[in-house]
Structure 1
């Protein structure tokens, strides 16, 4: 399940630093019940030593946002749209309840009126679908160079490792959420794929002190249920709770029997 927020900046415009993902994440945690926010932030869902928050969000989407290069800021005018997805209904119910009560969202000291909040159910995925990124998809590997320095290698969607790492990540999230003993995992070997169709651009984002490279564009995605549900509501790839990997379905192919 997902929420779609429509925001109207009080004063006519919203000015944010160009790397604003952490501001959106902070706003989301701020509007959750305190105990729930603590559980998601500190615990999440675990698989071995990995922790997953299993929520994601889009970039802020508005008509013709203006970039101020000298200040490295973005200027948004209303309406501004923000999508937030999660696997736990309790997460979205708590968020929606707090937002409706306040009717206001604050980002970097600026207020936006909550003009609308909509619940969006996921589309059925019968066979392959074309998805468009609402926030960039990113996957990477970390290694040490010969001098012992830690390095991070981000992968391009055209590389074989990109699809493999996306699906490895998805399976770990599935085991964290659904449990180890389930029959959904072998199905991933049968016809699942993620193919880039039209890449828009590489997106370089700084989340606090961490540099992240991801990709925007159109992809063809084929996944069995319930893995499609997990990918749609919690995101594809890594760093979903930092605002990466949210997609929307733009086309569904007809499959012949």
Structure 2
């Protein structure tokens, strides 16, 4: 299940730090009942000993935005991004009651704080898609990141690009685990192939931790019924930090 939420501000622009994923994530956690928020933040859904949150969210969309590379945010000189109001955000989860709770909570709120901005809900709509096919083109609403962790005296992360075979391998394994959590069915491999069409690397930070991810369009071949199950959980890693939200475009 996914929602498209339109926020309007009391000013012409909504100004945020350029790396705003943590800000949006915090707003979403605060927009849930306390028990559910604590469960998602501190626990999640487990596959063996690995937690999955099974939700994701998009980048912010707006008719117009501009970047100020020498902006002062708080006490730091850092880049900022200003979006012309109204702004749009997509949120999704393969666990419907999570999204239902967001909708029920946010619709009752007169105002929502997004960093130093006070915004209000202008509209909210459920965005459903049912026409899944064996071959589809998808685009990212937030960039996809996949990586492996290595130890060589210290821990480091190796991120993979769409042209590397590990990109597809890691997504397939990630989807297999999510599918098991959602359905209870244990499958050997999630049936999907992923081919990049037009992609670009983006470098983002989450709590000052650098993350390499990829935006763009992909051609996928899959089992439509199985894909429908995991569609709203996100592709790749760090979904609950605002990575891996995709949209079928054809």
TM-score, structure 1 length as denominator?
A: 0.90
Greater CA drift, 217-226 or 59-68: 217-226
Contact 1:137-1:237 at 8 Å conserved across structures: yes
The aligned residue for residue 128 of structure 1 is 135
- RMSD of aligned C-alpha atoms? 1.4
1:44 and 2:51 equivalent?
Answer: no
Whole-angstrom distance in 2 between the partners of 1:210 and 1:187:
31
Q: 1:144 aligns with which of 137, 151, 155?
A: 151
Q: Deviations over 1:179-198 (max 9, x none)?
A: 2x45xx35735xx2011011
Unaligned runs of 5+ in 1: 252-257
- The 3 A distance-change label for structure 1 pair 152 and 186 is closer
Whole-angstrom distance in 2 between the partners of 1:245 and 1:116:
24
Contact 2:146-2:236 at 8 Å conserved across structures: yes
Aligned residue pairs: how many? 243
Whole-angstrom distance in 1 between the partners of 2:205 and 2:225:
32
Contact 1:131-1:248 at 8 Å conserved across structures: yes
Q: Deviations over 1:50-107 (max 9, x none)?
A: 0000000000011231000112000111221100001111111111111110143211
- The 3 A distance-change label for structure 1 pair 197 and 129 is same
The aligned residue for residue 65 of structure 2 is 65
Unaligned runs of 5+ in 2: 72-78
1:239 and 2:238 equivalent?
Answer: yes
- The 3 A distance-change label for structure 1 pair 232 and 106 is same
SS in 1 for 2:190: helix
Whole-angstrom distance in 1 between the partners of 2:142 and 2:228:
17
The aligned residue for residue 79 of structure 1 is 86
1:104 and 2:103 equivalent?
Answer: no
Q: Deviations over 1:171-218 (max 9, x none)?
A: 111222222x45xx35735xx20110111x211111113211100000
Q: Deviations over 1:200-240 (max 9, x none)?
A: x2111111132111000000122224431244201000000
TM-score, structure 2 length as denominator?
A: 0.93
The aligned residue for residue 195 of structure 1 is 195
Q: 2:167 aligns with which of 162, 166, 169?
A: 162
